[in-house]
Structure 1
């Protein structure tokens, strides 16, 4: 049977070999391992202050890295990262884990709702990421988002739970020539918590081998 290389089945890109780094942890009982343990009873909680980050270093059997497509995240209501910048580290750069270095590229911004349920966001390709602009609204000292509910987005966004939908004719099509990544960083710039804390019960990333 011939394999459809343009439309393979998406898989979870998080494995036991995935290295997870977080900016801070409130205490050992709410550590980073709880992000991907699959239990609805455990969570990661940051210390107070913004920004807070989660970095996933993604091992892959492919030398071209992985192509993320769907990010799923479950927050605790009241402790939600309301404005989140997502950066990707490409395979054609040096493997430096320092924010701001050239190998980290802004992929998109997402705006999760202040709810307890799982929220899923479709991620753009790196080629589409060139059109993503950071929000212009300031961040208040409390860390609460000052973005209006109808904050403007580029034309390739639609209002589907603040989810990037990309090109509607090829949203989930896998281009074998698409550039892969080796790491993904979530930077929570605002929080629904007055003190800037973020609590995440579950995190998953699905996509393809590049």
Structure 2
């Protein structure tokens, strides 16, 4: 079966921060809305992160991220776990500081929760801006 998006309305997402706490304008929902004019914009800080909790176990094979150039992460650590377990590292990826959609292929991993930490921001203040985030794989 071909990989497809495992992002769904029942998924619970959390982020480390939102610029000036203006969730309506810069909130996490904008990473998933398909609108190229909207984005999640973190507040400043050294390491930003996001978590995705899926309603069903998923087999993840790829993560796609579109940063705003100048506000990208130079290193992303992906952690995952099954329900009731502790997060453990599943991959490190090294995005480019670009506006392009970037795809990161993973060893297929079964999980219920995914956490991505954004380390080494290209922004002096540690802000991260993401226009699009998708997780590809299979819903089990």
- The normalised TM-score by structure 2 is 0.93
Q: How does 1:37-48 map to 2 (within 5 A)?
A: 37-48=33-44
Question: Residue in 1 aligned with 2:86?
Answer: 103
Q: How does 1:117-196 map to 2 (within 5 A)?
A: 117-126=100-109, 180-196=110-126
Question: Residue in 1 aligned with 2:59?
Answer: 67
- In angstroms, what is the RMSD of aligned CA positions? 1.2
How many residues are treated as equivalent by the alignment? 137
Q: Distance in 2 between matches of 1:189 and 1:75?
A: 13
**Superposed displacement of residue 105, structure 1:** 1.0
Q: Distance in 2 between matches of 1:14 and 1:122?
A: 16
Gaps of 5+ in 1: 1-7, 95-101, 127-179
Structure number, greater radius of gyration: 1
Moved over 3 A (4+): none
Q: Does 1:10 align with 2:6?
A: no
From 3, 10, 18, give the equivalent of 1:25: 18
Tell me, what secondary structure is at the counterpart of 2:43? coil
* The structure with more strand, counted as a fraction of residues: 2
**Superposed displacement of residue 209, structure 1:** 2.9
Q: Distance in 2 between matches of 1:116 and 1:18?
A: 26
Question: Residue in 2 aligned with 1:86?
Answer: 78
**Superposed displacement of residue 11, structure 1:** 1.9
Gaps of 5+ in 2: none
**Superposed displacement of residue 90, structure 1:** 1.9
Q: Distance in 2 between matches of 1:44 and 1:77?
A: 14
- The normalised TM-score by structure 1 is 0.63
**Superposed displacement of residue 208, structure 1:** 1.3
Tell me, what secondary structure is at the counterpart of 1:34? helix
Q: Distance in 1 between matches of 2:46 and 2:54?
A: 25
Question: Residue in 2 aligned with 1:140?
Answer: none
